[in-house]
Amino acid sequence: MRPSTGRTLTDKPEAEWLPIVRARAIEMMMAGIRDDLKSLNVEQDVFFSERSLIEGARDEVGETIAALRRAGYVYEGRLPPPKGAPMEDWEDREQTLFRATDFGDDVDRPLMKSDGSYTYFASDIAYHKTKVDRGFATLIDVWGADHGGYIKRVQAAVKAVQAITNAAVAELDVKIVQLVKLLRGGEPVKMSKRAGEFVTLREVVDEVGTDAVRFMMLYRKNDAVLDFDLAKVIEQSRDNPVFYVQYGHARGRSVFRNAREVVPDLPSEETARASALAAAPLDRLDDAGELALMRRLALYPRLVEAAAMAHEPHRIAFYLYELASDFHAQWNRGKDSPHLRFIIQNDPQMTMARLALVQGVVTVLASGLGVLGVEAPEEMRWSRSVP
């Protein structure tokens, strides 16, 4: 039964109820997105709506076009028909164009549609201008693989924006990302848009955990397809990178717990222990595996710097797996050859030297996992040994 006062949405014409429903739907969807990001420990400072460029206090798209026109980067003209496109889809008319070819693009680009509204590209220019106006010198866009052909025109737009704003630097780095293929035990997880059958990000996090999702999403180049196997990422094996790296850290921590029999006065507090180990006789570390570990550790500072400059966090994930692999290999060599073990019962000085090496491993593993937003566990208990 309907309420006696007021009117329900179904009583209203579409022009009245649609904006109300749209606003509420967007609000609910954004709340869900924020909740999903929170489950991954991701904080998004700003959510930017394209509509705000036009429907806000100012028409920022129109202002941007006007500024580009004053600089000579916008003109009224005609474009030739696009190559390979059906002639019936092309409209020969004079239109407002951006001189994209002045900045390395293949053709000039329309800014206004035939109905007088702005093109998507016009809004893109205005949006990137807001980034420059907010003081950002490096602009990073993350796009789907089907937008690769759009890169040149937006790069041209950013160069023009830099020119009209007198920005010292305004560089655009576009990261193309591929789809994630969701598997379970090697078999594709069935999903269908038409049938409304799909798996949400939150469902994946709830099933395998935040650490597994974060690490595996970063354990690839952004433009590589990710086969995300729900069974594999909780497997206790070398084939599961997040487990292998986390277990390397936990295994290193266990060495210090077991070392107290040989070095009873070894401090338990991290900083104090590192200070004590600084005096260890590292010159005694001459085994090939130990030297390889030290060389790998020495690469870490430059690797982090290079990953940051290239905007490629996968480099850190790859490195951590390689470091963990080297560490596990040296551990296993000690099982077969007692003189290579990290703890030597009758040789405290050699033990101290190897503990210093282990300290380097756990410190770097913890640092790298921290950069990726993944936990570095102190202890892990598993049903079987790891190679």
Q: Is residue 94 part of a domain?
A: yes
Instruction: Determine the average pLDDT of the residues in 367-373.
Output: 97
In this predicted structure, the answer to whether residue 136 has a pLDDT above a threshold of 60 is yes
Structure tokens at 37: 């990001």
2 and 100 housed in the same domain: no
The whole-number pLDDT of residue 7 equals: 65
Q: Is residue 17 part of a domain?
A: yes
In this predicted structure, the answer to whether residue 192 has a pLDDT above a threshold of 90 is no
Q: Is residue 379 part of a domain?
A: no
Structure tokens at 172: 């655009």
341 and 229 housed in the same domain: no
The whole-number pLDDT of residue 314 equals: 97
Q: How confident is the model at residue 195 (pLDDT cuts 50, 70, 90)?
A: confident
Q: How confident is the model at residue 88 (pLDDT cuts 50, 70, 90)?
A: low
287 and 360 housed in the same domain: yes
Cα–Cα distance measured from residue 222 to residue 282, given in angstroms and rounded to the nearest whole number = 39
Please tell me the pTM assigned to this model: 0.88
Residue 112: helix, strand or coil by DSSP? strand
Model pLDDT for residues 217-249, shown as the tens digit of each residue: 999 999 999 899 999 999 988 899 999 999 999
CATH number, position 307? 1.10.730.10
Q: How confident is the model at residue 261 (pLDDT cuts 50, 70, 90)?
A: confident
Q: Kindly calculate the radius of gyration of the chain based on its CA atoms and give it in whole angstroms.
A: 29
189 and 297 housed in the same domain: no
Instruction: Determine the average pLDDT of the residues in 293-300.
Output: 98
**CA quadruple 317, 358, 209, 301: dihedral sign:** negative
How far is the CA of 370 from the CAs of 6, 33, 243, 247, 312, in angstroms?
55, 24, 15, 15, 16
Percent of all residues in the chain with a pLDDT value above 70, rounded to a whole number: 94
Q: How confident is the model at residue 11 (pLDDT cuts 50, 70, 90)?
A: confident
The whole-number pLDDT of residue 274 equals: 86
In this predicted structure, the answer to whether residue 2 has a pLDDT above a threshold of 60 is no
Percent of all residues in the chain with a pLDDT value above 90, rounded to a whole number: 72
Range(s) of the domain holding residue 245: 238-372
DSSP character string of 177-242? EPPEEEEETTEEPP-BTTTTB---HHHHHHHH-HHHHHHHHHSS-TTS-EEEETTGGG--STTSHH
352 and 261 housed in the same domain: yes
**CA quadruple 106, 107, 108, 111: dihedral sign:** negative
| Domain end point (choices 175, 191, 210) | 175
In this predicted structure, the answer to whether residue 83 has a pLDDT above a threshold of 60 is yes
The whole-number pLDDT of residue 383 equals: 54
Q: Which residue matches tokens 């600084």?
A: 278
Cβ(169)–Cβ(140) under 8 Å? Answer: no
68 and 94 housed in the same domain: yes
224 and 145 housed in the same domain: no
Q: Is residue 186 part of a domain?
A: yes
Look at the chain and count its residues: 387
Cα–Cα distance measured from residue 313 to residue 309, given in angstroms and rounded to the nearest whole number = 10
The whole-number pLDDT of residue 77 equals: 95
Query: Which contacts (CB < 8 Å, 24+ apart) does range 380-383 have?
Result: 380/246, 380/247, 380/250, 382/236, 382/247, 383/236
Cα–Cα distance measured from residue 256 to residue 249, given in angstroms and rounded to the nearest whole number = 12
- The mean of the pLDDT values for the chain is 91
In this predicted structure, the answer to whether residue 256 has a pLDDT above a threshold of 90 is yes
248 and 352 housed in the same domain: yes
- Top-confidence residue, 327 or 188: 327
Tell me how many domains the chain contains.
4
In this predicted structure, the answer to whether residue 28 has a pLDDT above a threshold of 80 is yes
The whole-number pLDDT of residue 201 equals: 87
DSSP 72: T
Q: Is residue 384 part of a domain?
A: no
CATH number, position 54? 3.40.50.620
| Domain end point (choices 175, 201, 223) | 175
Q: Is residue 22 part of a domain?
A: yes
- Top-confidence residue, 157 or 19: 157
Residue 350, amino acid: M
Model pLDDT for residues 353-365, shown as the tens digit of each residue: 999 999 999 999 9
30 and 126 housed in the same domain: no
Q: Is residue 380 part of a domain?
A: no
| Angle between helix 314-336 and helix 288-298 axes, rounded to 10 deg | 160
26 and 85 housed in the same domain: no
Cβ(233)–Cβ(245) under 8 Å? Answer: no
169 and 184 housed in the same domain: no
Q: Is residue 313 part of a domain?
A: yes
249 and 331 housed in the same domain: yes
Residue ranges in the chain assigned as alpha helix (H): 14-39, 52-55, 60-70, 120-133, 151-165, 201-208, 210-218, 241-258, 270-277, 288-298, 300-310, 314-336, 348-372
